[in-house]
Amino acid sequence: MNDQFDAVLIGSGHNSLAAALHLAAKGWRVAVFEGADDLGGAVKTGEYTIPGFRHDWAAMNLSLFAGSAFFKAHGEELARHGCAFVPVDRPFASSFEDGSAVGVSTDLNETLTAIRAISPADAVTWQDLADRFPSEAPLLFGLLGAPMKFRALASFMFKMFRLKGLGGGLDMLRFLLSSPRLWLEESFEHPHVRAMLAAWGLHLDFAPDIAGGAMFPYLEGMAGQAFGMVIGQGGADTVTKALAAAIRARGGVVEAGVSVTRIVHADGKASGIELADGRQITARRAVIAGVSPRGLSQLTGATSPRFDTGMRQFQHAPGTMMIHLAMDGLPDWKAGDTLKRHAYVHLAPSLDQMAQTYAQAKAGLLPDAPILVVGQPTVFDPSRAPKGKHVLWLQVRMAPGRILGDAAGQIAATDWSEAAEPFAERALDILEAHAPGTRARIIARRIVTPVELEADNPNLVGGDQVCGSHHLSQHFLFRPLRGHADGSTPIANLHLTGAAVWPGAGTGAGSGFLLARKLAP
């Protein structure tokens, strides 16, 4: 193999692969090296329980990828290499302990009927938000998709005040700085509607009382209403496999099972990487590291005091435990069969419970009542399981990467190897309370602890699936560090990409595509 390339990329997360494909399409010769045996980082699929049942390892929702600027540019090519999606018309719902539920469908009348049944006033609010979303979305999505420089923020502010006027602009600014609880309690009267939306904040480390988190429940709610959801046909790895195939078809190299031990640099300029097998790979134009901030420092050694300190102090969100279930049938939800028609069912009973669970996990405690995200992908994509069977995808939120104790005082173990089973049983008890008889339908299960998630993918520090908190002090211009939201580093030709870089987590390929377009417009 020729060991000289225009760009060498470390890690095969979808941001790295997206950057590699765009550069390859611009004529660059690229090589991607992945330390794990399987490509994709958090976006991969496998038979993790028993043969015939395909489970998404971490990411399941591919809506951001399907709607991304990257996919608009390269979607036709990816489709030729097998990338295919399954549309979801009922993206999410929440089940509650009293046997009730409320959910969102792309049929606005269906959503309004569900909300009106518990709060006519909230149905009016939802209708108003849905009516205004088409005019609000371009502004917000434009901000989230723009290169994060002060000029971009200034442009956003100018557009916002021009469109909304002084009063409307200030109201929007207040909304962007608000916590989920503040916005939800001001907007909706029923606690179940509030909880249904607040559950989305936890996906990005925004507990109900964290400033700056209001935007994400709003966007997920309105985007789910307007567009539904998208999952991968056969599994989320449809994206990873197509990206790798497209890169190879353009003459690029994609290797798994080979670790990078060092980024080679001298006189302030990166020139390549060193692999664990001893190979030296030269990068003529760019080394792109799809790693966590702490992981980057381990590969480079000292760079500059401010940058090194920032990478070391980069804050991660609490972890997640995954439970993959091969099922003889879907759960029989107490709230009724309507829940069997939703891709996600959140078990997140109230704003207060979510806040308490988050605080417990941040304190290193196993939460006494973890929040569950129950994914039912085979409702929409039966190819993931044998005929008549199903898979369940359970995210257990939140879970401490390092266990200091148990909030319920029942689990003595502080090592995940011993705490995994009893904590998983606690989560399944919650699921059973919402859907009696679910345990009896489990054919096989696989528990993946925060420690295992990090061992498989070092970017998921402590099981943090979003590779870093999105709190205001570590978002926008400050993700991962002021002056480096574009992925730049103090070393010339060395760039950081992935969920730790603006615009952050999710499957939208934002940081990879923004970087690739900067390098090769």
Domains of the chain: 4-86+234-314+460-519 (3.50.50.60)
For 293-337, write each residue's pLDDT tens digit: 999 999 999 999 999 999 999 999 999 999 999 999 999 999 999
Report the alpha-carbon angle 75-153-472, nearest 5. 90
Predicted local confidence at residue 64, as pLDDT: 96
Query: Which whole number is the average pLDDT over 150-161?
Result: 81
Query: Which whole number is the average pLDDT over 244-265?
Result: 97
% of the chain beyond a pLDDT of 70: 100
Are 25 and 250 spatial neighbours (Cβ–Cβ below 8 Å)?
yes
Q: Is the pLDDT of residue 203 over 80?
A: yes
Q: Is the pLDDT of residue 149 over 90?
A: no
- The set of residues, in sequence order, having a beta carbon less than 8 Å from that of 46 and lying 6+ positions away, is 38, 54, 55, 57, 237
Q: Is the pLDDT of residue 1 over 60?
A: no
Predicted local confidence at residue 361, as pLDDT: 98
- The set of residues, in sequence order, having a beta carbon less than 8 Å from that of 27 and lying 6+ positions away, is 520
Predicted local confidence at residue 160, as pLDDT: 84
Q: Is the pLDDT of residue 2 over 80?
A: no
Instruction: Give, as one character, the DSSP assignment of residue 317.
Output: P
Predicted local confidence at residue 382, as pLDDT: 98
Predicted local confidence at residue 142, as pLDDT: 83
For 364-384, write each residue's pLDDT tens digit: 999 999 999 999 999 999 999
> 9 phi and psi, to 5 degrees?
-120, 135
Q: From residue 271, how far is each of 6, 345, 492 by CA, in Å?
A: 10, 48, 9
For 28-85, write each residue's pLDDT tens digit: 999 999 999 999 999 999 999 999 999 999 999 999 999 999 999 999 999 999 999 9
Q: Is the pLDDT of residue 440 over 60?
A: yes
Residue 198 banded pLDDT, cuts 50, 70, 90: very high
For 454-499, write each residue's pLDDT tens digit: 999 999 999 999 999 999 999 999 999 999 999 999 999 999 999 9
Predicted local confidence at residue 244, as pLDDT: 98
Q: What is the mean pLDDT of the chain?
A: 96
Q: From residue 184, how far is each of 91, 160, 200, 351, 517 by CA, in Å?
A: 20, 22, 12, 10, 37
Burial 259-270, CB ≥16 within 10 A → b, else e: ebeebbbeeeeb
Are 195 and 349 spatial neighbours (Cβ–Cβ below 8 Å)?
yes
